[in-house]
Amino acid sequence: MTTSDPPFPPLKPRDPTSVGRYRTVGRLGAGGMGVVYAGRAPSGSLVAIKLVHGDLATDPEFRARFRREADLVGRVVGPCVPRFLDRDTEADLPWLATEYVSGPTLHQHVREHGPLSGDSLHAFALGVAEALRAIHAAGIVHRDLKPGNVILAPDGPKVLDFGIARAVDETAITRTGGLFGTPGWVAPELLRGAPPSPAADVFAWGGLVAFAATGRAPFGKGSAETMAVRVLDGKPDLEGVPQHLAPLVRAATGQDPNRRPTVEQALAELLGTDQATVVGAGPEATELVTRVLRAGWEAPPPPTVFTGDPLPRTEPKRGRPWLLTGAAIGALALVAAGAWAAGDRLSKDPVEDPGGGAAAAGTEEGRNEEATDPEATGSDERVLVEVAGNGLFMVHADTSGALDVTPGFAGVGLGLPQGVARDEYVVASVRVNTVSADSATQTGVRVFGEVEYLADEGEFTLRAGDLTLLEVGQGLDPLPDDPTADGRGAHTADPGRVLATVSPDSPDSEFEVDFPDAPQSGLLAYLPAADALGGEARVGGVYTCYMNWHPYPPVDMTDEEFVPCPAERPQ
């Protein structure tokens, strides 16, 4: 057996070199729960290791839920789910390990090669249904079935991220009343407040098969609010779904959960057998599924791997229409924010504040208008950021002036002008999370996340200097119109450090940056550099509240209202 490692995105300097008995060899992803590493077992086989963030590891309630969910995941067995291998739920940082599954996600494959068809599409629908049968049989509801959570492996589709998401979800719901899932894939009854159920997973399964068949999300793309309205309207776009699958997909995406087919009914129809054959996870049903997969599944090409090194900057084409060409990352809840100007670019001479960060100047004399004034730059390009969901920033740009960007703050409100469609000028999405920079001492703040490029040409750069952490506390407005105008402490990082550069050729990238002196609660402000898109532009940014004791920071801000940030953890 060879032990040469595939080209995984590299480990970060502070990543562990081992977890339990496994040697880490690369990063597979990161999110609100923790980091997923590629590892090597002592035998040489590849594994996937999910390591919990330190913030969550200190929460006894989360540990208990993680322990219970790990027990459930260990009981899920089937040809279309990764095999459970190992765990340590009592470690300082709890973890679990499953077999490593190679291949692109459905999202990656459709983006790079187009939709599935023929026998492969039928095998995909069957395999995902079989995975849900195994997951439901173990007492788990997946709750976040979507194109990014299905791997197209050489031997068939594999459904990822079941069970562990439930642990995070239940903690969040207990504390905040939040909704877990990705807009466009969340069943309508969940949007109306019903508890998760197997029928909600069937709804997502129907949308997933439609996406695999057409390359289009069944409820389109747009803001969280827009997606929710479309789901509640109950009119999925199923044009292009093959005739033999269309009735089943249409029934699965129906509004009434009681009238959707069960997973067993879907499996029976796809296998051309009776429902009794697939009930109870018997070996006969597994053999039938394996036989169909072996006969109809065609191994997809491997995914394009971006190792994390920024691309060389090139001069983008000018006069481009910034049109949405990819599916925007989903948000958990619609929130709103205004435009802001903060950090080093606001002051020609930053001064140190007692809190250890540069105090942000809020006067007109302190603002660097040269970076954002089109008369100074000779450019009419406008770049505007809005908060589209929990920890999700959407970057919009245009040259027509429709966005009507005012450099600096426009107050707390919707980022886009009235009448401007949210997906009309979208360029990129930036999803952020925060944890303690030092999990052992619970000090400092690490901001990390993912950037996705959504336009059809050009490129977008995220720099460390685009992010500023602003302090909150006594005497400071908890929801200021301009958080830079009252002398509050501002914590910044190296402004020139490139965190990620994305383009149509390499549209996805992860990033992280530490703010060692920042408090565990504050305002996370994001203002792109004037040249983030390659040329000078007027820019407007946003801020959100982050609280590192919250189960899913940055804080979910619902109903277009900000949640004030406390200076200390509430008792």
Residues marked active site are found at: 144
Tell me how far apart the alpha carbons of residues 505 and 512 are, in angstroms, rounded to a whole number. 22
Give the residue among 214, 256, 215 at the shortest CA–CA distance from 234: 256
- For residue 531, the SS3 value is coil
Measure Cα distances from 430 to 141, 330, 336, 508, 510 in Å.
Answer: 28, 11, 15, 10, 10
- Tracing tokens 């195994």 back to the chain, one arrives at 134
DSSP 482: S
User: Using omega within 30 degrees of 0 as the cis cutoff, is the peptide bond preceding 301 cis?
Assistant: no
Other C-beta atoms closer than 10 Å to the C-beta of 256 total: 10
What is the pairing mode between strands 382-389 and 538-540?
parallel
Give the residue among 95, 118, 128 at the shortest CA–CA distance from 20: 95
What is the pairing mode between strands 22-30 and 18-19?
antiparallel
Q: What angle do CA 48, 53, 57 make, to 5 degrees?
A: 110
Contact 433, 449 (CB under 8 A): yes
Q: What angle do CA 97, 102, 105 make, to 5 degrees?
A: 100
Tell me how far apart the alpha carbons of residues 356 and 491 are, in angstroms, rounded to a whole number. 7
Contact 453, 476 (CB under 8 A): no
- Name every residue whose Cβ is closer than 8 Å to that of residue 400 and which is 6 or more positions away in sequence: none
Give the residue among 221, 306, 320, 316 at the shortest CA–CA distance from 511: 306
Token reading at 15: 């990543």
Amino acid at 340: W
- Name every residue whose Cβ is closer than 8 Å to that of residue 395 and which is 6 or more positions away in sequence: 383, 384, 385, 426, 427, 428, 429, 430, 460, 528, 532
Token reading at 561: 């209202």
Tell me how far apart the alpha carbons of residues 298 and 530 are, in angstroms, rounded to a whole number. 46
Residues forming beta bridges with residue 50, ordered by sequence position: 36, 96
- For residue 349, the SS3 value is coil
- For residue 524, the SS3 value is strand
Give the distance between the most distant pair of CA atoms in the chain: 76
- For residue 126, the SS3 value is helix
Q: For the sheet containing 84-88, what is the strand order?
A: 18-19, 22-30, 34-40, 46-52, 95-99, 84-88
* HEC per residue, 438-451: ECCCCEEEEEEEEE
- For residue 449, the SS3 value is strand
